Chain A
Amino acid sequence: MSSRIPGQTSRTLHVATGARIVWEFLQNPIFQITIRSLHISGTATLLSAMWSLPLGILIGIKRFPGKQLVKGIFNALLGMPTVALGLILYLLFSRTGTLGFLHLFPSLQAIIVGQAILITPIIISLTASAVESVDPEIKDLAKTLGASEVETSLAVLKEAMGGVVLAIIASFNRAIAELGVALAVGGNIRGFTQVLTTTIALEVSRGKIEYSIHLMVILLAIVFTITIFTNLLQRRIK
């Protein structure tokens, strides 16, 4: 019996040390910044998908006058410079701006909304293209079999799933890699709105190159991993 006591003590110690290590890791600014980046851009992507996916599918399936014009506009918006969008959003969210009453500058929500807007044209364009490339016979077949409008859309969506997933992933990558919006409406505030890109920009100008390289490697790792994962996933879907 007595021999168990030291064992227990050392186990308790191990647990305490482990907990401390985990706790310190969680407190590490690099970890927090990385999680914040993933959280902001992930939320922005999901948020944007809520309106962009239906719109993209609609534009892809429907035939309507001015369709090419609408698609052209969204294609043009693909190249939206982030500094431009950042400035527009800053003027909107600023206390004296149109949406100033929301008190969104500087905040995480402002970055999320900004990135969601930034990636909207990406999701719409890529989804519309994916849907369009689905064999029109599938749509006709579904209709002949008595499927409703919604059911037809879902059938087409299923065929276009690979393209849709690509659209989502590409937009997440664009969101997490952008600097202009996060800087303009987030303000790069330590412990609050710093994300990977804004921290890299700041720390480089502060001369902390080594620290910036750590963050850069993390950012690249995230972007590359997701891209590779997507490629594999696409192959499986096909």
Chain B
Amino acid sequence: MRRNVVIWITALVLVAVVSFAGTTLYIGATSKEKLVVSTTTSLYDTELLDTIEDQFEAKYSIDVYFISVGTGLAITHAQRGDADMILVHAPSEELSFLEGGYGVCRKIVAYNFFAIVGPEVDPANIRDLSPIQALSNIVETGRNEDAKWVSRGDDSGTHTKEKGLWTAAGFNWTILRNEKWYVEAGAGMGKTLQVTDNLDAYTLADMGTYLKYYKDGIISLEALVTEGEELLNVYNAIAGNQTKHSGINFDGAITFIKFLISEEGQEIIADFGKDVYGQSLFYPAVDLLKHNTDPTMVQWIKNYAFFNGYECPPEYRDKHPELYT
């Protein structure tokens, strides 16, 4: 009896150790160079990044790992050295990220527009108004208990944008959030759209995720306000700073950024979703900025996403001036 138990215990220990060690060995043996990219849910939820990952990995011997979180957590990951680079859309937070010495080599990769989406009946009558006017109407109708607003409430890029829009419309977001009609979802873009749809409420959504959910029939919300400089949404790549965290894969990050801004990468972005949604979900930004093909748009991007007139101020370029020629 005793021998049996000893055999069982030995077997248990052996299997556990072998299984754990096997995992480590397997990963060590099969994994190529790793690149951890912390990114915003709005990019990930559209599946654009899946497409980019497949094409990039077919070309380079680098395994790209996307961690899909809000821009806030994406930046935190990179600050802690857990991500090699970030792909985000919140210029104000990116600036403090650069100034804190955590990131270098920022490149503007793509842009699209946010939309104020809401129920078809549109209780606040915001259809085709200016973004600022639309928000004022929503606040007024909300306070009369005829409309609701759902906020991401997760410090994501979209949430940052929303707070900026409230300020531009003359409201104090910290007061609004305590009002009854103002709902904080604390979730990613997709989930927030679903909550908004269920509540017949309004929300701010990036066009990419909205279109995907709308065309897939997951939500019936309509894009009511889609125009205006205030709604511009710019996606940017920033590499982690290797002098801050020595363990990060800086070269991999630069390779990936170069791929994103290459003709091939920009084409993937431009074409993504065309076949399914009949229009692009994202617009490539590199050629536009380089050749000033659409001066109004370029000016808008410069107003919104440039720092001191640069997409990346020279002191944060870390020996990669070729990214900016």
Contact = CB atoms under 8 A, between A and B. Distances in A.
A105 B187 CA distance: 23
A94 B82 contact: yes
Given A112-B23, A151-B2, A206-B47, 5 more contacts: A154-B1, A188-B68, A189-B65, A189-B66, A207-B212
Contacts of A25: none
A151 B24 CA distance: 36
A209 B67 CA distance: 21
A202 B66 CA distance: 13
B50 A49 contact: no
Contacts of B24: 109
Interface string B1-12: 110010000001
B36 A43 contact: no
A107 interface: yes
Interface of A: 39, 42-43, 46-47, 49-50, 94-97, 100, 103, 105-109, 112, 151, 154-155, 157-158, 187-190, 192, 202, 204-207, 209
Contact of A190 (B12, B19, B66): B66
A49 B17 CA distance: 11
B53 A50 contact: no
Contact of A206 (B23, B45, B67): B45
A44 B53 CA distance: 30
A118 B82 CA distance: 23
Given A94-B82, A95-B245, A105-B82, A39 B1 contact: no
A207 B66 contact: no
Contact of B20 (A43, A96, A204): A43
A189 B67 contact: yes
Give the 8 A-B residue pairs with the shortest CB-CB distance, closest first.
A95-B81, A46-B16, A187-B67, A207-B218, A43-B19, A205-B191, A205-B190, A189-B65
Contact of B80 (A43, A96, A108, A158): A96
Report which residue of B24, B68, B187 has the largest number of chain A beta carbons within 10 angstroms of its beta carbon. Answer: B68
A106 B19 contact: no
B213 interface: yes
B314 interface: no
A100 to B, nearest CB: 7
B67 A106 contact: yes
Contacts of A158: 1, 5
B41 interface: yes
Nearest to A209: B218
Given A46-B16, A106-B36, A189-B65, A207 B82 contact: no
B247 interface: yes
A39 B191 CA distance: 30
B194 interface: yes
A205 B36 contact: no
A202 B81 contact: no
B168 interface: no
Nearest to A108: B23
A100 B23 contact: no
B188 interface: yes
Contacts of B19: 39, 42-43, 46-47
Contacts of A190: 50, 53, 66
Nearest to A207: B218
Contacts of A109: 20, 23-24, 27
10 contacts: A46-B16, A94-B81, A95-B80, A95-B245, A108-B23, A151-B2, A187-B67, A189-B66, A205-B194, A207-B212
A94 B245 CA distance: 12
Interface of B is mostly: helix
Contacts of A96: 80-81, 245
A95 B247 contact: yes
B278 to A, nearest CB: 18
Contacts of A189: 65-67
B169 interface: no
Contacts of A155: 1
Nearest to B213: A207
A198 to B, nearest CB: 11
B323 interface: no
A107 B67 CA distance: 12
A103 B80 contact: no
A205 B188 contact: yes
B13 interface: yes
B263 interface: no
Contacts of A94: 80-82
A39 B23 contact: yes
Contacts of A154: 1-2, 5
A39 B44 CA distance: 27
Contacts of B1: 154-155, 158
A49 B12 contact: yes
A145 B245 CA distance: 63
Interface in B167-193: 187-188, 190-191
Nearest to A148: B2
A190 B49 CA distance: 11
B45 A205 contact: yes
B15 interface: yes
Contacts of A43: 16, 19-20, 23
